[in-house]
Amino acid sequence: MLFKVFTGAVSGVDGLLMEVEVDIARGLPAFSTVGLPEAAVRESRERVKSAVVNCGYDFPDDRITVNLAPAHIRKAGTGFDLPIAAGILGAAGIIPDGAADPYVLLGELALDGRIKPVTGSLPVALAAKAAGFSGILVPWENRREAAVVDGLAVYPVTGLSEAVDFLRQERDITPHPRETKAFEPDPDTGADFSEVSGQAHVKRALEIAAAGNHNILMIGPPGSGKTMLARRFAGIVPPMNFDEAIETTKVFSVAGLLDKGQALVTRRPFRAPHHTVSDAGLIGGGHVPRPGEVSLAHNGVLFLDELPEFKKSVLEVLRQPLEQRQVTISRASSSLTYPSDFTLIAALNPCPCGYYTDPAHECRCTAAQIARYRSRVSGPLLDRIDIHVEVPAVAYADLASATPGEPSADIRTRVTAARTTQEKRFARTRINTNGAMKSRHIKKQCAIDSESAGILESAAERLGLSARAYHRILKIARTIADLAGQADIRPPHILEAVGYRSMDRPL
């Protein structure tokens, strides 16, 4: 007898619906799974058999063939356990024919029949809704995540027997109510700019970076507050909207990093990988591809401290996500794409010892050592970082001052106003911030007068700017003008923007 069940898998961060076809035929006892199953899927036969038997059902002593369709896509993960078990019980006549057709089934089975949580419930639920299914059966722990999707009944199940009884219409399961209150944007990161002493010009640079979604590099000696400033950056960026929360949650769901019972990621991510991270850890990949740090920072912040300490190969693979705001991982059998629209905040010391620009400490590094240290960060990568700002050691007067700095909420108000201006400007395009502008957008949106052009020409000749660096200055100037509420770019905006290219200057 043949029985068909629908389930789901993920490709990148998107859900894919799959058919699980189970055929039981007469012959010597056998259990074969076809359709390019990975190891975890092939091993499911042992979990399924034990779960079926331990739940009190008779496991067929015939030839069982499980086909996972479409057959050309590799199947990975443990979420196929529940649909395979349901398919076997349906082919054995325990579940009525067609009883599972309105639903998508997803879940890993324990040997005693319990249903354990899986990754990717949200993308699969979105795919089920798009395909017109009326409901989805998910593990109890994944109920809130799946219930974010509107118009899809989410049935949380804790065990195989419960799922079978539901499909046999012998048990009622109340659908989990839609998580309408799950989206409550939370801009409070627990750290405020008012706690940072001094560094007014660095705060200004970070405000510009937040307003235009520009990448930023901070150069300063140890203890100058680079990390402290970076960790407060997310607090001045506008809160995530619902679409951004869905995108970010999909990445965390696929990576298995959602907190237990969490429905949505509503706070902008802040990822700070150690400099020993591998290429795959940063970009993503592996035998079974997983999102890397650049994708886990999607719609948030990626902070790379001690930038020259990262392996050169690791830094160079940053070029694609910085330019295209997505990562493509190619394998012989498939190609996956993960989103990576983040703000890069990088930090480095001015020299190997760290005190090249610190008047209070003597630097013992030679010019050659400093040049060699900075050369670990390639020119093409620096060109892709819009803002370079020097972070000097904090003066004692600033440290001893009892006057609090400007709170993050006030800065966020200005940033939000600038972002609103940009959203209106790019309303009919695929971008929404100045930092994402391409050459054609810069040509249209960053027109400058003759005086500004003269300033920019002089800077380009003096600093030897590349074409990419030239465009970065125009984009920064556009954001500075937006923060000032001005429609046109003026000479002061160009002058300030040129000042944020310190790494283009000779030592």
Check residue 496 and give its pLDDT. Answer: 94
Does 60 share its domain with 148?
yes
CATH label of the domain that carries residue 8:
3.30.230.10
The contacts of residue 127 (CB under 8 Å, 6+ apart) are 8, 14, 15, 16, 17
Last residue of a domain, one of 334, 369, 402: 402
Structural Rg of the chain based on CA atoms:
27
383 and 243 share one domain = yes
The answer as to whether 463 is a domain residue is no
| Domain final position from 369, 402, 435 | 402
pLDDT at 330: 79
Q: What is the pLDDT of residue 211?
A: 97
How many structural domains is the chain composed of?
A: 2
Q: Does 505 map to a domain?
A: no
Q: Return all residues near 200 (Cβ < 8 A) that are at least 6 apart.
A: none
Assess whether 222 and 125 both reside in one domain. no
Return the DSSP state at 182: S
Q: pTM (2 decimals)? A: 0.90
Structure-token pair, residue 380: 């093409």
Consecutive 10-residue runs of the chain (507 residues): their mean pLDDT? Answer: 93 93 93 90 93 96 95 88 97 95 97 96 96 97 94 97 97 90 65 85 95 95 90 92 93 91 88 93 84 95 94 89 88 81 94 85 89 88 90 74 82 96 91 90 92 90 82 94 95 93 65
Q: Tell the burial category of 367 from Cβ atoms under 10 Å away from its Cβ (0-12, 13-18, 19+).
A: exposed
pLDDT, residue 185, reads 66
Range of the domain at 77: 2-167
- Note the pLDDT of residue 417: 96
218 found inside a domain: yes
**Rounded-to-integer distance, Cα 10 and Cα 8, Å:** 7
User: Which tokens is 33 given?
Assistant: 């799974």
Judgement on whether residues 255 and 394 belong to the same structural domain of the protein: yes
Give the three-state DSSP class for 186.
coil
Report yes or no on 507 lying in a domain.
no
